[in-house]
Amino acid sequence: MPLARPFAQIDVFSAVPCAGNPVAVVLDGQGLDAAAMQRFARWTNLSETTFVLPPEDARADYRLRIFTPGGELPFAGHPTLGSCFAWLAAGGVPRQPGQVVQQCAQGLVSIRQSGQRLAFAAPPSQRREVPAATLAEVLPALGLAPAQPRRAQWLDNGPLWLGLQLDSADTVLALAPDHARLAALGCKVGVAGARGGAGSGALIARSNREARAFGAVAARADDALIEVRAFAAPIGVPEDPVTGSLNASLAQWLIEAGELPARYVASQGTALGRAGRVHVERDAQGQVWVGGDCVAVIGGQVRL
């Protein structure tokens, strides 16, 4: 017999409804098996649907399972923030004030509160070089010539992405991928390019001017240093509107490479008519935090 379960749909990486990336959150997933969770994720047809469960680790405040229409993920960024936002709004009280600890298949993830904004501690990202043969298959599916990417790297913080740094945001926004071909290759691709094609020095100088406002004001239309897109056809999501896990791995990679400053804002979703803003900060200990605004759009019950 289906049970009425509390439910919320949260728009993540935006303070304005319908401008970010929605996540469906079932706030009581107890008694549901993986098959039932997967059915509901296919039905919502969002990039991710999550299920909140009691923690199995005494250090965690709750446990989260994350599903795309095509399968379960060990970790994902925007579902982490959206689910935490929904859990807090539903009366969840963290063991440690100002910090929530989420348990997921990837491990424990810390989420901090700064005013109305949440930010997760990016899990360690494993990186390795991309074989030339792989690029020779993937780049034509994106409509890119072999010389166009400035850098390429496999990025893995649970989800595995082929990361590409392109020469400009204009190049990023002009991409028209062959999603069927990417799905056949089994390759999720994340691309990033600087706005105005600026080099890292210009980005860092601009970021220093804007850093005073970091975390204190909502994102403006022109505040982003880079444009990001995420193509995930192999898991049933041709293009994800705004992607926390990808932005986390891109930040760890490109900050370390000297291509991005320790604080910046990324824009994602422009090509889909969204206005997602991802706030990134690497703290003095080297931990990268990935944050954004959240707003509740739908609340009620689902019968599962």
Residues known to be catalytic: 48
Task: Tell me the two tokens of residue 7.
Answer: 């439910």
- Non-local CB neighbours of 284 within 8 Å, separated by 6+ positions: none
Q: How far apart are CA 58 and CA 64, in angstroms?
A: 14
- Say if residues 250 and 81 touch (Cβ distance below 8 Å): no
List, in sequence order, the alpha helices (H) in 91-168: 132-142
Q: How far apart are CA 242 and CA 257, in angstroms?
A: 23
Task: Tell me the two tokens of residue 215.
Answer: 């975390």
- Non-local CB neighbours of 222 within 8 Å, separated by 6+ positions: none
- For residue 96, give the DSSP letter: B
Distance of CA 210 to the CA centre of its chain: 23
